[in-house]
Amino acid sequence: MPDDEVVGARWWQESVRLSATPVSRRRALQALAVLGGSAVVFGIVAAFTDADRHVDISMDSLELQKREGWNVGQEGAALRFPGSSGVDADGNADWEQTLPLLASDLSPAQAALKPYYVPTLFQALESPSGATLRGELKPLLPPDGREDTLRGEAILSLFRAVDMPKD
């Protein structure tokens, strides 16, 4: 080997030896403690500054919806019912007339079952603020809806044959 290569290798070996001084365990733990402490301080500062932006309003959501309507905060947003029709399963177009009566129509006939009936969802259609909701609702039939309707009517006829309960 020529002397120039050995000299080059010598300076290289010297630089590698000088740059490879190991970091002491104490210094590494100090760096981790400083890094972790600064992350905790940053998190606390962020949590306290973020709390000022939110204003909590305590109000009963049902009362708010009764007063403002079903679409509080989304006024003008339309409901979409793909495949909806203007007629119900019986082919009647006057189904909209019965929506305000839905809560009373669905209430149990037996007095023993009335404590378990919660008509809140259906009462949204009764109130004056529910007029927009009544206008948005549409009957939906599955693609083969007539077949399902006939199947349901067949089952109903079986119940009627054995004096079905009136509830």
pLDDT digits (tens, 9 = 90+) for 70-127: 777 777 777 887 778 888 877 888 888 888 888 899 899 999 999 999 888 888 888 7
- pLDDT of 155 > 70? The answer is yes
> Which candidate, 136, 120, 125, places its Cα nearest to that of 62?
120
Structure confidence by residue, pLDDT tens digits, 22-77: 677 788 888 899 999 999 999 888 877 765 566 667 777 777 777 777 777 777 77
First to last CA, the chain: 106
Residue 154 has pLDDT above 70, yes or no: yes
- Can you tell me the distance from the alpha carbon of 127 to that of 69, in angstroms, rounded to the nearest whole number? 9
Is pLDDT of 166 > 80? no
CA separation for the pair 20, 17 (Å, rounded): 5
> What is the reported pTM?
0.44
Of residues 83, 89, 84, 108, the one with CA closest to residue 152: 89
Alpha-carbon distances, residue 44 vs 37, 47, 48, 53, 64 (angstroms):
11, 5, 6, 15, 35
Q: How many Å apart are CA 103 and CA 126, to the nearest integer?
A: 8
Which pLDDT value is given to residue 39? Answer: 94
